Structure 1
Amino acid sequence: MSTSVQTPARDEEQASLLRRVLLPTIFILLGVIGLMYPIVATQWNNSQQAKVAEQYESDVAGADPHTLNEQVEKARLYNDEKAGGPILDPWLSRISEDNTEYQEYLAQLSGLRAMSQVAIPSIDSRLPVYHGTRENTLQHGLGHLYGTSLPVGGPGSHAVITGHTGLTNATLWDNLSKVVVGDAVYVSTFGEQMKYEVDKIDVVLPEDVDSLRAVPGEDRLTLITCTPYGVNTHRLLVHAHRVPMDPADTGALTDSGTIFQWWMLILLIPALLGAWRLIWWINKERRENSNA
């Protein structure tokens, strides 16, 4: 019976191999994970937001039409009563949520997973809309700007919907800057489906809210996000007016969804190259070690 004895030279050779293989492998894997995380996180959150939008429409389809209509009419009455109130920038100003007026606001269009949903086919976007513009709200979808009309349409109404740009883990309204005059925007609120046509695009300072006020006799919608991308010193305002909705337009509220972003390709290519290089290098080291 014989036993193999590890010589100091053999131990050093194995330790050297471990240093050559293990440490570089760890660093490369960390790099690949770092490159892949924003892509995976963004696509995951995008899918969750799309699921909420789909479930919202399912909830509406399964709800009592009379109850839905009551909610919409109640929201329109609320709009009439609250018209002319103060409008504040959604990112600079915060409203105390424990006051009676804000609680009354939260009671409007309640009972479903979201207040509404907004679809913009030209940028393949369909997102749920929630009450208010708290940071936690805007991390998960769009927010309705408190102080503006609830998104149920009607003469003299002007709903303002806000959304983030530049998050590392969600697309949201990264592509809102690609919207052009003439594009369609669809809003679905408790069974009320509305179509708006973009007629003006502005870039303003956060304090400039004059264009967000309601215009007597007009049915308007404005979409807001921060700009420039990653700097966020100004606000991009996409203004639209109500137009008739054709039966063929109803598909826009179910077909739109988030898309693969161009920046994901920039991260995905080096991540895949890094993974391929790691596999090639490990196989090379294994062959050299077996031949030694």
Structure 2
Amino acid sequence: MKRTVTNGQYGKAKKNRLMLPAIVVILGLLVMMYPVVSTAWNNYGASKAAKEYAQLDKDTPQEVKNTQWDKAHEYNEQRASGPILDPWLNDIDSDNPEYAEYLDQLSENDAMARFIFPKIGVDLPIYHGTSDDVLQRGLGHLYGSDLPVGGRGTHSVITGHTGLSNATMFDNLSKAEEGDAFYVQVSGHKLKYEIDQIKVVLPDQTEDLRPDESGDYITLITCTPYGVNTHRLLVRGHQVPLEPVDEGVFDQNHSGGWQWWMYALMAAVLVIGLGFAWWARRQHKLSKATASANNKSKGLSSDAEKQSDDNN
């Protein structure tokens, strides 16, 4: 007696054979989605930290903010003028007394300030130093440069990563143009800077980071070209008066949101997912049709054999 394979049995066997490809595809899609999810999450966390700084700065007593502000200006005036070193090639001895004094400046909150660059969608906290931990969470103030409180003869340097796989940070700094404005909120004060110089230099070319007796500058620095990092992009701005219209900048969220590559990657995930779903459905239909045809063929063969036996 011949055994007949039912549609259910054939479909179950085919389903088992589809399980491994399905697992592989799902794992692959999850790997593809990880940079998007991690970047969105870390961008949210950094933007949230900037907002928290703004709220804490607002809630801090004015007397405390004034003390920190005056202390920061005094620090800038009295600090020893030393060489400005590339933040990615030179480590700072965090145990020396000078660095401990530095960490005591603008220390009423975890971050020392808030940085806003509306055009490129940056709203991030500024932390002390440029350690890897700092630059994973936001922007870093380069130790050895002036604190970002403004004033004649000061030059503050703010650093940020480009090309991180899990955060945006300064990825869009290359879109900055002369005349663009960025802002700093620090110890109850709001400062506006207008970009007047953009340069690409080698890591050891730090002359443009030095103070100018007649200037009041902040320079933004990041690695370039994207993913290569052999050079440094320097975007310098000088302080200009804050207009009444600028006040609203500090009340808005300037986080850039998703980047183009995030949309592209999620579109690829969607296409691959839909493509696999179509293929799996097609395989399921083919398996059912094959099972039905096999059973029909076996049924006809069985009827023929039965008729032959009856004739005999």
TM tier, smaller? over 0.9
Tell me how far apart the structure 2 counterparts of residues 220 and 6 of structure 1 sit (CA, whole Å).
Answer: 85
Which of the numbers 253, 261, 285 marks the counterpart of 1:263? Answer: 261
Pick the aligned partner of 2:277 from 262, 276, 279.
279
Structure 2 CA distance for aligned equivalents of residues 51 and 254 of structure 1: 13
Pick from 159, 164, 176 the counterpart of residue 161 of structure 2: 164
What amino acid does structure 2 have at the position aligned with 1:18?
Answer: N
Gaps of 5+ in 1: none
Structure-2 residue corresponding to 1:31? 28
Residue number in structure 2 paired with 1:140: 137
Identity %: 48
**1:248 equivalent in structure 2:** 245
What is the aligned counterpart of 1:73 among 49, 64, 70?
A: 70
Gaps of 5+ in 2: 292-312
Distance (whole Å) between structure 2 residues aligned to residue 165 and residue 6 of structure 1: 64
Structure 2 distance, partners of 1:6, 1:224, is 74
Native 8 Å contact 1:138 1:163 kept in 2? yes
Aligned to 1:104: 101
Q: Residue 84 of structure 1 contacts residue 213 of structure 1 at CA under 8 Å; is this kept in 2?
A: no
1:64 aligns with one of 61, 65, 68: 61
| Cα gap change, 1:105 to 1:77, in 2 (>3 Å) | same
Q: TM-score, normalised by structure 1?
A: 0.92
| AA at the equivalent of 1:259 | G
Determine the C-alpha separation between the residues in 2 that align with 1:94 and 1:6: 75
Counterparts of 1:12 and 1:86 in 2: how far apart (Å)?
A: 76
Tell me which amino acid in the other structure corresponds to 1:80: E
Matched length: 285
Aligned to 1:152: 149
Residue equivalent to 1:131? 128
CA contact (8 A) 2:158 2:220 kept: yes
CA shift digits 1:85-140 (9 cap, x unpaired): 22111000001101111011001000213111111111111111000000111011
Q: Which residue number in structure 1 is paired with residue 303 of structure 2?
A: none
Distance 2:251 2:169 in 1: 17
